[in-house]
Amino acid sequence: MKDFTYCAPTQVIFGKDTEKNIGRILKEKGAKKVLMQYGGGSIKRLGLYDTVVNAIKAEGIELYEVGGVQPNPHLKLVKECIELVRRENIDYLLAVGGGSAIDSTKATAVGVPYDGDVWDFYAGKAAPKAALPVGVILTIPAAGSEGSNSSVITNEDGLIKRGLSCDLTRPAFAIYNPELTYTLPAYQTAAGASDIMAHTMERYFTNEKDVDMTDRLCESILHTIIRNAPVAVADPTDYVARAEMMWASTVAHNDFLTAFRVGDWASHQLSHELSAQYDSTHGAALAVAFPAWMTYVYKHDVQRFCRFATEVMGVEMDHFHPEETALKGIAALRSFFKSIGMPTTLSELGVPDTELALLAKKVKKGADGTVGQFVKLTEADCLSIYNLMK
């Protein structure tokens, strides 16, 4: 049981039509000039763009905008946004979209007051000391960036995808209207579900003992997704399923579940290489990577994998053959991902077998040359896990 500090100050504004209050909310926060970042156009098709622009302008707030933030957001656009914010003395940042728009906005927030290259933060060469405030209107439950202390950016130079974790990047507020997620394609709904599950499982597989409360909270989030993701995939306008997924997205990744524990995060690092090199959707890459990681490490703590199998995946415990129980749990997870339309092999992601050694080499490792906390993996281990994804 590990000591911890926890500070997740994001104001949550949840419910139908809440996005209509964005102008008033920004005004109350003291915003005078706002930069809004968004993605490739879904918010325009949704009608959300007009709602937000009109609500902000109605309050007399000056609005600037940068659209076209791509999934797995890139550094170049972040730098353009930093320049714009400096030039126009913008004082508040707003992300409208999912993890990509939010992460690009968070990177802008820490980049503006920094004299050096914002990539220094992602390369681990410097730590942010200040940030502009960030607000969010969430349109996809997935990355959890709306409540998390992290952001993930891809540097076009070398296609390197790296994360920055720092409490300064936690959003000041986040607005959630489940109806805004009705237009999500089934694939993005399912990828979001995989990511929420992955954030929970990264924390669930820990070496810390006596963490029963957070074990049960993790199991609850996993049950919530297993129950609601298929509903949302089958009926995109099911309000309750969309609402449950939206709140699970935040709770899975705002560190509420991290209390007393040390998360693993190797599966995320393995999946980041797939997204950086092949532009795989983050959640889809995790649906491939996580079961492969599990298969490679389950012998490290068979009992924990048995608990996952029985408490989460509904497998019956075979006390004479615990390893088989553990393996059945992993197989059940893979089947679940498949059932909601996720890929479970590298070939489905379009990743050629010939590149696996390079991927294993590029995976971000710590100073000791390993990645992961539950089991510390070397480059050779990473390669073995990529081979299990074939």
Shortest gap between Cβ of 6 and ligand NZQ (angstroms)?
16
Which distant-in-sequence residues (6+ apart) come within 8 Å of 44 by Cβ?
50
Shortest gap between Cβ of 220 and ligand NZQ (angstroms)?
20
255 contact, one of ligand NZQ, Zn ion, none, CB 5-8 Å limit per kind: none
What residue ranges bind ligand NZQ (CB under 6 A)?
A: 39-43, 46, 71-73, 97-101, 103, 139-140, 142-145, 148, 150-152, 180-181, 183-184, 188, 192, 195, 253, 268, 282-283
Nearer to ligand NZQ, 283 or 329 (CB): 283
Shortest gap between Cβ of 159 and ligand NZQ (angstroms)?
13
Shortest gap between Cβ of 267 and Zn ion (angstroms)?
9
Q: How far is CA 4 from CA 102, 174, 258, in A?
A: 26, 24, 8
41 contact, one of Zn ion, ligand NZQ, none, CB 5-8 Å limit per kind: ligand NZQ
Cα 214 from Cα 260, distance rounded (Å): 8
Nearer to Zn ion, 266 or 306 (CB): 266
327 contact, one of Zn ion, ligand NZQ, none, CB 5-8 Å limit per kind: none
What residue ranges bind Zn ion (CB under 5 A)?
A: 195
Nearer to ligand NZQ, 151 or 344 (CB): 151
97 contact, one of Zn ion, ligand NZQ, none, CB 5-8 Å limit per kind: ligand NZQ
Shortest gap between Cβ of 182 and ligand NZQ (angstroms)?
7
Nearer to ligand NZQ, 102 or 112 (CB): 102
230 contact, one of ligand NZQ, Zn ion, none, CB 5-8 Å limit per kind: none
Nearer to ligand NZQ, 102 or 327 (CB): 102
Q: Are 96 and 175 in contact (CB under 8 A)?
A: no
Beta-bridge partners for 164: 151
Which distant-in-sequence residues (6+ apart) come within 8 Å of 218 by Cβ?
200, 201, 203, 204, 257
349 contact, one of Zn ion, ligand NZQ, none, CB 5-8 Å limit per kind: none
Q: Are 259 and 214 in contact (CB under 8 A)?
A: yes
Shortest gap between Cβ of 154 and ligand NZQ (angstroms)?
7
Q: Are 180 and 15 in contact (CB under 8 A)?
A: no
How many residues can be counted in the chain? 390
Nearer to ligand NZQ, 282 or 334 (CB): 282
Residue with tokens 């993930």: 152
Nearer to ligand NZQ, 198 or 356 (CB): 198
99 contact, one of Zn ion, ligand NZQ, none, CB 5-8 Å limit per kind: ligand NZQ
181 contact, one of ligand NZQ, Zn ion, none, CB 5-8 Å limit per kind: ligand NZQ
Closest CB to Zn ion belongs to which residue? 195
Using alpha carbons only, how large is the chain's radius of gyration in Å?
20
Shortest gap between Cβ of 337 and ligand NZQ (angstroms)?
15
Q: Are 306 and 325 in contact (CB under 8 A)?
A: yes
Nearer to ligand NZQ, 82 or 96 (CB): 96
Shortest gap between Cβ of 139 and ligand NZQ (angstroms)?
4
Shortest gap between Cβ of 144 and Zn ion (angstroms)?
7
72 contact, one of Zn ion, ligand NZQ, none, CB 5-8 Å limit per kind: ligand NZQ
Nearer to ligand NZQ, 268 or 365 (CB): 268
